[in-house]
Amino acid sequence: MTDRHDLPAGFRWGASTAAYQVEGAVDADGRGRSIWDTFCERPGAVKNGESGRVACDHYHRWGEDVELMRGLGLDGYRFSIAWTRVQPTGRGPANAAGLDFYDRLVDGLLAAGITPLPTLFHWDLPQALEDEGGWMQRETAFRFAEYAGVVADRLGDRVPAWITLNEPFVHMVYGYALGIHAPGRTLMLDALPAAHHQLLGHGLAAAELRGRGLDVLIANNLTPVRAASDAPADRAAAEAYDALHNRLFTDPLLLGRYPDLSAYGVGPDLHGAVRDGDLALISGPNLAGLGVNYYNPTRIAAPTDPGLPFAEAPIDGVPRTHFGWPVVPAGLYELLLTLRERYGDTLPPITVTENGCSTDGALDDTFRTDYLAGHLDALARATAHGVDVRGYYTWSLLDNFEWAEGYSQRFGLVHVDFDTQQRTPRASYTWYRDLIAAHRAKSAPR
């Protein structure tokens, strides 16, 4: 049976992080305030009142972190750029000192033989733009495109491929609908324009990047949706959930239209946000790749609360991560096959841009190794069944600031002692390093 050792030659191995989760140094070199700086100050918003002020201090310790990546033998490193280091208020000329940091990082990665894969937006919107309405405002999409151009002008000579947005679904739902993440708004279904404006921002930024000869990807959090039973009400609920979580993002990108959201009482213009020509900007020309962030499947039943057309049902009988998330590697196979069936030839090559788990923090993390092995086996099966998956970036290289959970969820191949900033590779680091080396040895021409 196909497993992770059978991944195709040229398959790319990576690890991911994000700016606010690792960099710290929030006041360094003219960085402006982001919505996460503000949100972390809100009493009760983040576990134990923690914040990303220091995080892994990657801003100063990036050299050591690149050495850890080199030790793994990574092909690529996915990180994000803090918009507020580049444009402290989200508009206008570049803050050269902020861009210098990414310039140093990119050169350091290249010197270590690692391809930089930057994400332009991983949830840390400039507070100045949030004060004007954030992603609920159409104007933010245009500001994002301007920022993309500024960054690409500086780094585009060395960075071939770019991810515009990270998980616009999670940012919309957690940030604007439920208020669990920054900016902490609780708009429920009225948050839908935040999805459209992010996608419009993607389309406009993609044009800036492509105009400079660069490849464009977008990373979404996707989940295979399973109905709790074959009963028509459960199946209809599962379809409604699938439309909101998955299709709301992949349909406009790949098919140039929004899915049917009538179960939510919402029309195809998403509360009037969609204007003529927007979908053409969002969908074309083709993406160089689709980034898939996969953590777990979702089981959905008919609604119990009249406010929403679905209810989440538990997934029993499987292991759970420290976060409590169900571990279902087969869900990744299911997701990849569904994408191929759903989008056929319009589906660009896929890169798994995040996958991983939180553990109790121990250095001997067999739980993580098993998690990664299971998911890579599922990924290999999907490639054997014809899905074009080009690479895998595990979440995460380092333990880091896990948003509303503070430092309580540890996702790293490398343990970080947040008092001393000491990095210690876990057992899973060695395991991943050996897997990469074995794959490379097997793929090398004889």
The catalytic site residues sit at 167, 354
Pick 222 or 281: Cβ nearer ligand BGC: 222
Euclidean distance between CA atoms 119 and 143, whole angstroms: 16
User: Residue 432: helix, strand or coil by DSSP?
Assistant: helix
140 φ, ψ to 5°? -60, -35
Is 221 a residue that touches ligand BGC (CB under 6 A)? yes
Is 223 a residue that touches ligand BGC (CB under 6 A)? no
Euclidean distance between CA atoms 193 and 136, whole angstroms: 6
Per CB under 6 A, the segment of 65-73, 165-173, 240-248, 311-319 that binds ligand BGC is 165-173
Q: Which two tokens stand for residue 137?
A: 């405002």
The contact mask relative to ligand BGC for 279-298 (x = CB under 6 A, - = no) is: --------------x-----
Q: Which two tokens stand for residue 357?
A: 């788990």
Is 402 a residue that touches ligand BGC (CB under 6 A)? yes
Pick 299 or 410: Cβ nearer ligand BGC: 410
The single residue among 18, 105, 125, 253 that binds ligand BGC, judged by CB under 6 A, is 18
Residue 119 bridge partners (DSSP) = 80, 163
Closest approach of ligand BGC to the CB of residue 119, in Å: 9
Residue 89 burial by Cβ neighbours in a 10 Å radius (0-12, 13-18, 19+): middle
Is 170 a residue that touches ligand BGC (CB under 6 A)? yes
> What percent helix, strand, coil does the chain show, rounded to 5?
45, 15, 40
Is 166 a residue that touches ligand BGC (CB under 6 A)? yes
Per CB under 6 A, the segment of 147-155, 166-174, 183-191, 425-433 that binds ligand BGC is 166-174
The contact mask relative to ligand BGC for 351-390 (x = CB under 6 A, - = no) is: ---x------------------------------------
Q: Give the angle subtended at the CA of 414 by the CAs of 413 and 415, to the nearest 5°.
A: 120
Is 395 a residue that touches ligand BGC (CB under 6 A)? yes
Closest approach of ligand BGC to the CB of residue 291, in Å: 10
Closest approach of ligand BGC to the CB of residue 329, in Å: 17
Tell me whether strands 414-417 and 422-425 are parallel, antiparallel or unpaired. antiparallel
Q: Would you list the DSSP string of 37-59?
A: HHHHTSTTSSGGG--SSSTT-HH
Chain residues binding ligand BGC by CB under 6 A are: 18, 21, 166-167, 170, 221, 293, 354, 395, 402, 411
